[in-house]
Amino acid sequence: MTGPTAPQAGATDPSKSITGRISNQLYDVVLLDLELIVATDRIDDVLEAFSMPIKTAVLDMQIQPADAYEALGSGYFYGSGSMTRLVLTVETLWLREWTHSHLPDTVLSELGFPPRVYEQPQGSENETY
């Protein structure tokens, strides 16, 4: 479960990310792109929440005003205050022991793991559907 060439736990590489964190024998570093609509006066609270309880890092952020009228046309009401559209790239840590068996084959492949081998039930080789 350590991966094809997983470095030791705690290894870092500042050329990969501003945090220096890289996938290793203990955890995988996975980037997520998130689009959020938040109250403009709560942006700081939202960004701070990404550091609790596990340290994740917001690596990139785009800020745009949210179009309340367009949202209403789609059936969404954001509230009476000013709203902002945040597009974030977030660096997350996935503890390999907990997540590895649940990851789809495409994600395993992106992390450098071989795809799972699935066994066919006995007697199903010649069946057609």
Any domain includes 104? no
Any domain includes 71? yes
| CB-facing half-sphere around the CA of 19: CA atoms within 13 A | 19
Query: What is the predicted pLDDT for the residue at 123?
Result: 65
Going by C-alpha positions, the residue among 46, 39, 45, 47 that lies closest to residue 82 is: 39
- Cα(8)–Cα(24) distance, integer angstroms: 6
Any domain includes 17? no
Q: How many domains does the chain have?
A: 1
DSSP assigned state of 28: E
Any domain includes 88? yes
User: Which residue range is the domain that position 88 belongs to?
Assistant: 30-95
- What's the burial of 23, exposed, middle or buried (CB within 10 Å: 0-12/13-18/19+)? buried
Query: What is the predicted pLDDT for the residue at 124?
Result: 60
Any domain includes 16? no
- Cα(121)–Cα(129) distance, integer angstroms: 15
In this structure, the number of other CB atoms found within 10 A of the CB of residue 113 comes to 19
DSSP assigned state of 103: S
**Residue type at 6?**
A
Any domain includes 115? no
User: For each of the chain's 129 residues, which pLDDT tens digit applies?
Assistant: 545 567 777 777 888 888 888 888 888 888 899 999 999 999 999 999 888 777 788 999 999 999 888 888 999 898 888 999 999 999 988 888 888 888 888 888 877 788 788 887 776 666 555
**Residue type at 54?**
I
Any domain includes 5? no
Task: Please check whether residue 25 is in contact with residue 96, taking contact to mean a CB–CB distance below 8 angstroms.
Answer: yes
Any domain includes 6? no
3-class secondary-structure state, position 26: coil
